[in-house]
Amino acid sequence: MAGGGALNLEIIELHQQWVLEAFRRGEFDQIEVIGEADEKEFFELCFKEKIVTALAQEMPTARKKEEVPLWFELAANLSLKLHQENSYYALERVVQCGGLLSALPPDLASKHLDPQTQEIWIQCRGFNDKNTYPRKTPCDHDTLRKAARDVAASRWQDWFNGPVQQVFQKYGFFDPSGIFIGDGTYLFVPDNPQYEGTVVMWFDEHNHPVDYDKLSPQERKTAHRERCYKLVSLLHVRGDCYVYAGLRLVPGNAHECPVLYEMVENFVRAVGKGVMKLLILDRGFIDGKNIGRCKQEWGIDVLIPIKRNMNIWEDAWALGKTEPWQSVPVKAPDPRAPVQQKPERIARAEAKRQRTLAERRVPPDPAKTQTHHDYCWIKGFGSWSELPVPINVLLMRDRYADGHAEEWALMSTRDYAQVERPRDDYGLRVKIEERHRTLKCFHDLSDFYSRSLNVIAAQIVFILLSYTLRQWQLWRLEAEELSNDSPQSIHRRLNVRKQYIVIYLARSYAQIPLLQFTREVLQLEGEARQKALAKVRLLERSLLSPFDDTC
């Protein structure tokens, strides 16, 4: 630990009644969510397993002299992202109310609650003797900002795509199934040309890119113009958890296909062959040459839909007229099925409730109710001239209750033994789209405070890294609890055991249970209610557990 300045104290005092009364008038500075299983446990695990040190060994830097250790720069950036903060100005508040200091060595920084005065004491020594004024954090927020800004965007991404993935492999992040999903998503920014590396494009009401000149007058009414980036990412599905295995930030009009296959090549170069076994993609990544490279050079099977304008579509359906088909009924959920892992009395009551709901439920629309899936598995297509390896095709007809059917097809270099398995595997592709929504909605992925491409790339890297490390924390916790053979503890999640709301005003705070906070908000009136409502809307993302609907 370098340096060792004078020890300084910053005090945040508990004034429960005073802060609550001010809150009822609409006077408060910030609101924070804390829980029993919070950031402190996260960093304690990271430091105990030495994964922060391992990740920081090759973390890029533009500094010739290391004033602040890279491991602390990394930890501080992770702390900001765990609090859904993209502004480095939030560092002081995050350090004061978060759990990072509690996990650090006490001679560097610490935070504790005085049992008699009920005051939170912040003690920060720092890493050098250059500070003239009292330290509020182990390092200044501007140090972190400049450290991110001065490193090229390409270096941040190369670090994540290379050394970070090697650390993930060392710590067992990739399971033997080897299932990966690739996809791209647009990141919208304000229409300011100073956002480096952005382009302006037109999108329809579903945020799909469109050619404005080819739209009808009616379609133009719902089209909107956006300045944007495109994020191409590679996701590993690890059971019910997720690992980001690669990313690349490009202008919005860049084609994601060559970018994705380059990422796959870099991943194999970083961790070796045999880790990625199946790559699931959508139609936008159809590329015969690169699909062949995946199979021949890297031993990776690709599963991807077929476009209707491809020759292989016509050839497969023509051959399907003479090949055998298998029809599988679609099983509707049984409302009378007993609820698992519940006492018999509760299970019977739940089954009765489901039967009552089924009786009252409006009959389903026959045009939207699937009754059968018909499958035809055809092996060894070699008619695709751009593809140097044989490929297998699964033809599918989804039959509906009104008699109509919809046809589609998948192709894969993998020789599946079960005819239904390709469809099941392709169903995993929606997982990466769900991650896009999760990161945009709950982790402020595209909420950029800086227009510097370097800072933006660093922000995306740290968000995806913090998300993956949180997932690692979750499956580690589950593994420990599974060994305890307790069915109740298997379903335990990190941030749902007990939650409190901390309301800050000046250098004072009040800590109240989540339910009490809800009542306080409901009882506000007039301008106080409007101000609190605006603040709570901004806080809404952080009130959700990082694992809700994600694992």
Please write the tens of the pLDDT for every residue from 373-391: 999 999 999 889 899 999 9
Per the CB < 8 A criterion, the answer to whether 446 and 187 are in contact is yes
Nearest-angstrom CA–CA distance, 193 and 459:
19
Q: Are 153 and 399 in contact (CB under 8 A)?
A: no
Task: Quote the pTM value.
Answer: 0.77
pLDDT digits (tens, 9 = 90+) for 120-177: 566 666 666 666 555 667 788 888 999 999 999 999 999 999 999 999 999 999 999 9
Q: Over the stretch 202-229, which tens digit does the pLDDT of each residue have?
A: 999 999 999 999 999 999 999 999 999 9
**Residues 6 or more apart whose Cβ sits within 8 Å of residue 399:** 370, 371, 372, 373, 374, 405
Whether the pLDDT of residue 356 is over 50: the answer is yes
Say which residue, 452 or 331, is predicted with more confidence: 452
- Give the chain's domains with CATH numbers: 8-151+497-543 (no CATH), 153-305+431-461 (3.30.420), 311-415 (no CATH)
The two three-digit tokens of residue 211, written as one number: 């050619």
- Residue pair 262/249 in contact (Cβ under 8 Å)? The answer is no
DSSP symbols for 183-201: EEEEEEE-S-TTSTT-EEE
Task: Measure the CA–CA gap between 343 and 413, rounded to whole angstroms.
Answer: 47
Name the region of 264 (left: φ>0; alpha: ψ -120 to 50; beta: rest): alpha
Beta-carbon contacts of residue 385 (< 8 Å; ≥ 6 apart) = 288
The separation between the first and the last C-alpha atoms of the chain, rounded to the nearest angstrom, is 37
Strand intervals (E) in 208-337: 209-210, 224-238, 241-251, 278-280, 301-305, 326-329
Note every long-range contact of 412-418, with CB atoms under 8 Å and residues 24 or more positions apart, other chains counting.
Answer: 412/301, 412/302, 412/303, 412/304, 413/291, 413/294, 413/295, 413/301, 413/302, 413/389, 414/278, 414/301, 414/303, 415/379, 416/377, 416/392
Q: Is 287 helix (H, G, I), strand (E, B) or coil?
A: coil
pLDDT per position as a tens digit, 327-349: 999 986 554 444 445 567 667 77
